[in-house]
């Protein structure tokens, strides 16, 4: 049976709640690996967990584990017979698979929980180190900071395990261990990154998209669904909630001065989000606002917009700039989708000269012209729900290829 040792990182600092975090991490690993291997076993230990599997390859499991929140690092661990010659042979095989450069160094660390094994810890290190040094004379032995570190574990059962390569994980906390939030997801670059960062902190998300057909196109809606699918790669399947918003925007256009329309539109969105929060039993609203990026994201505007809700509004991008957001979008695979040229409801109805310092009393006086409660309830009555996971992107690609 193949084995990978998963190290928790931040999760290790948790006290009495550690088992809850471990269970959330194990659940996600099992869910992500289920298409590959039905015999996968996850065994949590104090500071790490074993992931054991059969049918899947190491490469397939590495691809899965590198994008699971809550994993600091992980190392494939190769099983061999508990025999010193077999251990030496496997050690040479592992070194043959890596790229060694002039000046590289190595170290062998042995861990012997089976005290009946006929070789002491130091003997194992010396014997295995000798064959490696003979095979690769260009490498030196370095005890403090070696380029390559081989770990040999002699278990109490009938097998030994060797690890050479270690991989960095996504860090953060296990998905679903930090409560549930609703992400305001447009088709732009910012909101998917906000969602990704909160997922990395362990928050389970549902995506809420405001669409305004016929002013926004079916392609714009599809773009938001594809972003949801990409985000689900870092968690589990997500609920995609589509809120019809055209009538509200028409009413705003007809009754509110153009330069205040963005403020009123955002306040209407938050009113809807507030009620969705209660209906979906979520605990926080997440959006992609970045301080000063656009007119509605000045401190004055945000205070006026926030006035309609007492719910927590989390803004993980608040101190980032656009370049940082774009870099992260490229890294996590949302850039190409966000870059598709389909406008969302915010850009279609964007005012030509938005007010950056709206006054609350004036905004409230303008909103008196709207039947706010009726508009909110009509929007809520028209929402549609769809469960989306990362397979949605593969189906979308298949649909596209069938048209060629």
Domain residue ranges of the chain, discontinuous segments joined by +? 2-168, 180-402
Is position 179 annotated in a ligand binding site? no
**148-154 and 105-112 strand pairing:** parallel
| Predicted local confidence at residue 10, as pLDDT | 82
Q: What is the pTM of this model?
A: 0.90
Is position 266 annotated in a ligand binding site? yes
Would you say the CATH fold of 180-402 matches that of 2-168? no
Tokens of 168: 């960095």
Domain 2-168 part of CATH 1.10.3720.10: no
Long-range contacts of 367-372 (CB under 8 A, 24+ apart): 367/256, 367/264, 367/267, 369/255, 369/256, 370/251, 370/252, 370/255, 370/256, 370/264, 372/268, 372/271
| Cβ atoms of residues 363 and 265 within 8 Å | no
Which whole-number Å values give the CA distances from 326 to 4, 117, 194, 358, in the listed order?
33, 54, 12, 29
| Predicted local confidence at residue 337, as pLDDT | 95
| Predicted local confidence at residue 4, as pLDDT | 94
Is position 262 annotated in a ligand binding site? no
Question: What residues are paired with 159 via a beta bridge?
Answer: 81
Is position 349 annotated in a ligand binding site? no
Is position 297 annotated in a ligand binding site? yes
Pick the CATH number of 180-402 from 2.60.120.10, 1.10.10.60, 3.40.50.620, 1.10.3720.10: 3.40.50.620
Is position 126 annotated in a ligand binding site? no
Rounded to 5 degrees, what are φ and ψ at 184?
-80, 105
Which whole-number Å values give the CA distances from 399 to 26, 217, 393, 394, in the listed order?
34, 18, 10, 9
| Predicted local confidence at residue 404, as pLDDT | 54
pLDDT along the chain (404 residues), means of 10: 88 83 93 85 89 91 95 93 94 94 93 89 95 94 94 85 93 94 95 97 97 90 96 96 96 93 95 96 95 83 94 95 95 94 76 85 96 97 96 76 58
Is position 271 annotated in a ligand binding site? no
């Amino acid at each position: 049976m193949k084995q990978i040792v998963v190290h928790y990182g931040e999760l290790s600092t948790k006290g009495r709640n550690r088992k809850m975090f471990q269970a959330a991490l194990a659940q996600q690993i099992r869910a992500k690996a289920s298409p590959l291997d039905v015999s996968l076993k996850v065994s949590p230990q104090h500071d790490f967990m074993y992931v054991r599997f059969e049918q899947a390859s190491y490469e397939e499991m590495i691809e899965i584990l590198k994008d699971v929140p809550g994993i600091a690092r992980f190392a494939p661990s190769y099983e061999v017979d508990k025999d010193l010659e077999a251990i030496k042979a496997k050690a040479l095989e592992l070194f043959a698979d890596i790229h060694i450069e002039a000046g590289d160094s190595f170290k062998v660390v042995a861990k012997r929980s089976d005290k009946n094994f006929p070789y002491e810890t130091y003997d194992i290190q010396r014997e295995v180190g000798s064959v490696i040094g003979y095979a690769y004379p260009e490498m030196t032995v370095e005890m403090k900071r070696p380029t390559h570190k081989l770990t040999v574990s002699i278990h109490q059962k009938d097998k030994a395990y060797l690890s050479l390569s270690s991989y960095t994980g996504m860090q953060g906390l296990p998905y679903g261990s930090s409560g549930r939030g609703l992400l305001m997801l447009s088709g732009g670059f910012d909101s998917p990154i906000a969602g990704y960062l909160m997922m990395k902190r362990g928050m389970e998300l549902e995506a809420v998209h405001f669409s305004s057909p016929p002013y926004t196109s079916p392609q714009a809606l599809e773009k938001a669904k594809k972003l949801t699918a990409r985000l689900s790669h870092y968690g589990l399947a997500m609920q995609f909630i589509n809120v019809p918003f055209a009538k509200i925007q028409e009413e705003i256009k007809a009754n509110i001065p153009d330069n205040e329309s963005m403020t009123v539109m955002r306040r209407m969105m938050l009113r809807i989000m507030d009620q969705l929060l209660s209906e979906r039993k979520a605990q926080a609203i997440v959006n992609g606002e970045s301080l000063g990026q656009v007119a509605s994201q000045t401190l004055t505007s945000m205070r006026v917009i926030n006035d309609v809700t007492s719910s927590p509004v989390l803004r993980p991008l608040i101190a980032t700039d656009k370049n940082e957001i774009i870099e992260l979008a490229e890294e996590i695979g949302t850039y190409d989708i966000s870059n598709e040229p389909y406008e969302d409801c915010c850009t279609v109805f964007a005012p030509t000269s938005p007010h950056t310092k709206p006054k609350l009393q004036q905004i409230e006086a303008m909103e008196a012209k709207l039947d706010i409660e009726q508009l909110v309830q009509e929007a809520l009555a028209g929402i549609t729900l769809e469960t989306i996971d990362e397979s949605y992107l593969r189906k979308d690609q298949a649909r596209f290829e069938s048209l060629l």
